Structure 1
């Protein structure tokens, strides 16, 4: 009997998604109480990973009436041109925009997720990092809650674009803006943007 060459073995390294969550009222509101934190969870690659308040249809259920029943989803995919498993992110909420590394997504719009992404909806922030693997039928995710906003200390590298002029505001005041208030255009290949809360 022939064994398929594409069948996963116990030794196949799974692609991993590290998802770090933050909300400014997470200590008092308990919105992450339904999530399994701090351990790796295996997920079938053909099942979308959904985030929202509906515990029946969402893999990651948030206890918050301000969150849409289905807020967003992550879809795994592969391409003939590249090795590995990659992900798209889609906005499932009719109520609000989803911000991915500074790009706004309206209802049902989707975007290829880079290896490191800052995702925002409402007051929520998700830092998502992908570690490549070999397995084709599944991936794993690990959830953690951050004590401080990742936007105040995380620098996500993105392809260069026109520099943004320094506004002259102090760091704390700059948190009110949706776009970065300062840019270093001297870096040869990448620039860093600080993503801020709305």
Structure 2
């Protein structure tokens, strides 16, 4: 008599999916993404970090770009006692470059929790990572696609709602062109009293 565990993951379990949208300003003239499984879902074990970098031997997601570190970043799946969801943390594995998550910079080996929607930047790359919850605990899926425009121009991930932002990510007056800026008019106080 075979006994099957009721908690064992089955093929019918809905997997958590990370939708990763990539952008690089020179992606059209280079084969930067030729090593990536674009347009298909790939399944990964939740026990192992998902690495992205230049070294295809070590990284499940490899970029054909000499300016990318051999191991650039890692995504770690984890769970908490308070949530049934599989959550993710991102870690900067590059000693040379900084990685930012929603404008928070991470140094070498530093980690940050990934929110459900995150804008990740390293070098000239931008990645929009969106987590879609699933029921399975032992594995998750990753779906990769290339964007024609930078995700930073489309969304701001700094608040609960997504709103358009300028490329710099903020709307300070010194970033607005002079002809669009309205400076306060100065008046000569003596001229007001003469008339």
Please give the range of the TM-score, normalised by the shorter of the 2 chains.
0.7 to 0.9
Normalised to the residue count of structure 1, the TM-score between the two structures is: 0.80
Cα drift, residue 98 of structure 1 = 0.5
Q: Which residue of 2 aligns with 1:73?
A: 74
Cα drift, residue 168 of structure 1 = 2.0
Q: Secondary structure at the match of 2:28?
A: helix
Cα drift, residue 170 of structure 1 = 5.5
* Structure 2 portions without partners, runs of 5+: 161-168, 179-195
Q: How many residues align?
A: 170
* Separation in 2, partners of 1:130, 1:74: 12
Cα drift, residue 158 of structure 1 = 2.8
* Structure 1 portions without partners, runs of 5+: 174-198
Q: Which residue of 2 aligns with 1:104?
A: 105
* Separation in 2, partners of 1:7, 1:71: 33
Q: Secondary structure at the match of 1:26?
A: coil
* Separation in 2, partners of 1:32, 1:20: 12
Runs of 4+ in 1 over 6 A off after TM superposition: none
What is the root-mean-square deviation in Å for CA atoms of aligned residues? 2.1
Q: Which residue of 1 aligns with 2:94?
A: 93
Cα drift, residue 95 of structure 1 = 0.2
Residues 16 and 86 of structure 2 are in contact (CA less than 8 Å); yes or no, is this contact kept in structure 1?
Answer: yes
Instruction: Say which of 149, 152, 168 aligns to 2:173.
Output: 168
Normalised to the residue count of structure 2, the TM-score between the two structures is: 0.82
Name which one, 1 or 2, has greater alpha-carbon Rg.
2
Is residue 61 of structure 1 aligned with residue 59 of structure 2?
Answer: no
Q: Which moved more, 1:150-159 or 1:57-66?
A: 150-159
Q: Which residue of 2 aligns with 1:182?
A: none
Q: Which residue of 1 aligns with 2:15?
A: 14
Q: Secondary structure at the match of 1:155?
A: coil
